[in-house]
Amino acid sequence: MPITIADVAARAKVSKTTVSRVLNGKGELDESTAARVRAVIDELGYVPSARAVGLARGRTRVVGMLVPSLTWPWIGEVIQGAVDVLETERYGLLLFTCNRGEESMRQFGAQVSAKSFDGLLVIEPEGTLDYIATLHARGLPVVLIDDRHQASGQIPSIGTTNHDGAGSAARHLLEIGRTRPLMVTGPDRFGCTQQRFTGFADVFAEAGHPITTDRVHPGDFTTAAGAAGVRAALESGVDFDAVFAHNDLAAIGAMRELLDHGKRVPQDVAVVGFDDIPTAAHTQPPLSTVHQPLREMGEAAARALLGHFEGTPLPNRPTVIPTTFTPRSSTTL
């Protein structure tokens, strides 16, 4: 039979309330009594219910995390960063995805209503921003990661320098003599797409090489979109000596399409991505890319939330962790 709090109380010759106070560190207790209770707990091997202790403390010591899907190639790095911080502070993580659409959100909403976690980290699933903002306004501590819609005026957020990161990619291409880049964008409705577009285009325009509309292909952050953008440019005779894709998956698709058409990378066409997912270092050739501080963003978001639990206000403006550029063989021999 499992050891209960009543067993501890009986062996220590105290009330269950006294045992509870020792476990929760609450109330004035004689030190000798507290020591006797702790000794009995050790002797009997009593393990208190985490849920019961959480209720007694008014806290679950669990953080929720809502993400669109675990299939996105960079999400694992963000989650790992958050987990590293949470586990160090002895918090658990309750992970939710939106793989099943409305049904997933109903299940998530039920856990919110049950107060199953103390605060929430969010990589925003599309179409949920208003709901998340409402939860935050009603008192649930929330931190957004990778604020694609710039909702940071409503919700505390951790982001990165999409504009400057794209600018660093443009400067790298100019430094190696590439002046006619093809750009494969992300979905236009995302703020990060707009920032990456302007950050890249502005640098080329300032250098006297404005990017014409025939060298801009809309994409959706997939390998298929990268391949389609390159294929369309080649079939229409567009002259380009580089490709900048708004994420690594699209860059990988673009690079494969170039190679399939007999183009040499980087001799004929240099290719740059954005994210620096683990796969980027292992493509053929390895992909030059803008490194997003994904793990650091997860860590910073978790620290902000745990700091709030201890009395530090959540930031009222976005926390920005800068990108860096990682050159590899897809642009330099």
Domains 62-160+294-323 and 162-291 share a fold: yes
Strand stretches in the chain, DSSP E: 62-67, 92-97, 119-122, 142-145, 157-160, 181-184, 216-217, 242-245, 270-275, 288-291, 319-321, 324-326
Distance of CA 32 to the CA centre of its chain: 48
Class level of CATH domain 162-291: alpha beta
pLDDT of the residue at 57: 57
In the β-sheet with 62-67, what is the strand arrangement from edge to edge? 92-97, 62-67, 119-122, 142-145, 157-160, 319-321
Stretch 82-102: mean pLDDT:
94
Among 13-17, 31-35, 101-105, 282-286, the range of highest mean pLDDT: 282-286
Give residue-wise pLDDT tens across range 13-41: 999 989 888 877 666 778 889 899 989 98
- The answer on pLDDT for 54 being more than 70 is no
Residue 294 burial (CB count, 10 A): 23
More reliable by pLDDT, 53 or 34: 34
User: Considering only the top CATH level, what class is 62-160+294-323?
Assistant: alpha beta
> What CATH number matches the domain at 5-57, 1.10.3720.10, 1.10.260.40, 3.40.50.720, 2.30.30.100?
1.10.260.40
How confident is the model over 294-314, as a mean pLDDT? 96
Given a contact cutoff of 8 angstroms between Cβ atoms, the answer to whether 304 and 158 are in contact is yes
Report the range of poorest mean pLDDT among 52-56, 102-106, 251-255, 292-296. 52-56
Domain boundaries, the chain: 5-57, 62-160+294-323, 162-291
Residue 242 has pLDDT above 70, yes or no: yes
- Judged by average pLDDT, the poorest of 21-30, 53-62, 224-233, 308-317 is 53-62
- Please report the pLDDT score of residue 22 as a whole number: 84
Per-residue pLDDT, 281: 97
Within a 10 A sphere around the Cβ of 49, how many other Cβ atoms?
Answer: 12
The mean pLDDT value of the chain amounts to 92
DSSP per residue, 20-36: HHHHHT-S---HHHHHH
